[in-house]
Amino acid sequence: MSETAATAAPTDRRAKRNVTVLIAAQAILGAQMPMIFTVGGLAGQSLAANVCWATLPISLIVLGSMLTATPLAAFMQRYGRRAGFILGTMGGTLGAAIAAYGLWRASFELFLLGSLFTGMYMSTQGFYRFAAADTASDAFRPKAISYVMAGGLLAAVIGPQIVNVTAESMLIPFLGTYLAVIALNLGGVFLFAFLDIPKPPVPRADAPVARSRLELLSTPVIAVSVVCATVSYALMNLVMTSTPLAVVGCGFATSDAANIVSAHVLAMYAPSFFTGHIIARIGAQRTVGLGLAILAAAGIVALSGVELTQFYIALILLGIGWNFGFIGATTMLAANQRPEERGRAQGMNDMIVFGGVTFASLFSGTLMNCMGGSAEAGWALVNLAMLPFLVMAGAALVWLSMRPRAA
């Protein structure tokens, strides 16, 4: 056995253990995200004085994620992944509790406050993929990232099914769903006791100096990875946020909306079993390009009509496109950061990504409820809004691929 193989094996044994823990966290704790994204807009629509603000709770979840990404990254850089993940899960518990109280009091303001705290968990979940790469060898890294993302498959099944059972289980609609989210957080937090990721070492006086955020963004491959991750996630969120409103607005039941979101989330994570292999075979940049093309196909299907079949196909394609685009961009970033700048690069990336997602989710409700004369017209506007951003991300990828030739 070569020296490289001998040293890689024990590293990947630890990495595989961590991946197993993170898959379980993605499945159990992550189930709260499809739950909240299914009912958040509908609950907001029932509480808001103006339906234009129906998706504001979703926007505030993403805003909370954006605001906490950098502090959480710095916290993990100092105290380790386990402490950061536990802190974020407690934030999710608090957010669900405040949101449940807001539903009890019929207070849109309290519901929004709870949504903001929920964003802290969403931000923490975003770091699972980076944690998977921390102890992985170069060869195992893209597979580790994609396997952890695959844990969302169970979340896609568990979350919407809990919604079907809890949404109307109490006198106040959706209150049971938020109580179930509290239970998921309190039970799932114990998973992190099994995580084995060393705390980052304290930098020595002669240690390499990490690049500043401006220097990181001036690095072409990092800049393009951030752009593509932001576009992939923001466009997915733009369409997904409006989906329950569009499905119900077109005359279908809440259970239909939950099932479509379930199919979408399954499509988001099912490809993760082989996304890492695709990246290893064709490269991260081409995988991202494939993801952007599939996102465009989702928009075309959505614009073709508003039958249940078209909703299902569009949302399945949306999930697959997000998977290829987001995991590919994450792999690009993870492969081009230094150990001493890990927290800074990842925090900056997620702050920008979730900043874009915040605006997308807020803009989604405006397009859906206030700029179209009907649910069908609003749904069309939501999907047409994808075009300029797909062109921008595609152009960035082409530019990056041409740079070595120009050099």
Question: Which residue would you say has higher pLDDT here, 404 or 133?
Answer: 133
CB proximity list for 218: less than 8 A, separation 6 or greater: none
Q: Determine the pLDDT at residue 128.
A: 92
Model confidence at 206, in pLDDT bands (50, 70, 90)? Answer: low
Q: At what angle do helices 308-334 and 220-249 cross, to 10 degrees?
A: 160
Q: Determine the pLDDT at residue 202.
A: 67
Pick from 331, 134, 321, 163: which is nearest to 253 by CA?
163
Rounded Cα distance, 13 and 332, in Å: 23
Across the chain, how many H-helices and E-strands are there? 18, 0
Element (H, E) at 10: helix 3-28
What is the percent of the chain where pLDDT is above 90? 43
What mean pLDDT comes out for the span 46-68? 83
What mean pLDDT comes out for the span 369-387? 86
Q: Determine the pLDDT at residue 268.
A: 87
Q: Is the pLDDT of residue 66 over 50?
A: yes
Model confidence at 8, in pLDDT bands (50, 70, 90)? Answer: very low
What mean pLDDT comes out for the span 123-139? 86
CB proximity list for 285: less than 8 A, separation 6 or greater: 328, 332, 397, 400, 401
Q: Determine the pLDDT at residue 14.
A: 87
Q: Determine the pLDDT at residue 406.
A: 40
For the segment 277-297, what is each residue's pLDDT rounded down to a tens digit?
Answer: 899 899 999 999 999 999 999
What mean pLDDT comes out for the span 164-183? 91
Rounded Cα distance, 122 and 115, in Å: 10
Q: Is the pLDDT of residue 5 over 70?
A: no
For the segment 388-406, what is each residue's pLDDT rounded down to a tens digit?
Answer: 999 999 999 999 988 765 4
Contact 245, 42 (CB under 8 A): yes
Question: Which residue would you say has higher pLDDT here, 211 or 395?
Answer: 395
CB proximity list for 202: less than 8 A, separation 6 or greater: none
Pick from 42, 246, 44, 259: which is nearest to 159 by CA?
259
The domains of the chain are located at 9-197+213-406
For domain 9-197+213-406, the CATH architecture is Up-down Bundle (1.20)
Pick from 283, 276, 300, 265: which is nearest to 390 by CA?
300
Letter for the amino acid at 41?
G
Question: Which residue would you say has higher pLDDT here, 22 or 369?
Answer: 22
Q: Determine the pLDDT at residue 371.
A: 75
Evaluate if pTM is beyond 0.85. Answer: no
Q: Is the pLDDT of residue 6 over 70?
A: no
Pinpoint the alpha helices (H) of 151-283.
Answer: 152-166, 175-188, 213-217, 220-249, 254-269, 272-282
What mean pLDDT comes out for the span 59-83? 88
What mean pLDDT comes out for the span 337-359? 80
Model confidence at 1, in pLDDT bands (50, 70, 90)? Answer: very low
- List the structure tokens of 292: 């952007």
CA distance readout (Å), 371 to 22, 51, 52, 378, 381? 41, 12, 9, 6, 8
Q: Is the pLDDT of residue 325 over 70?
A: yes
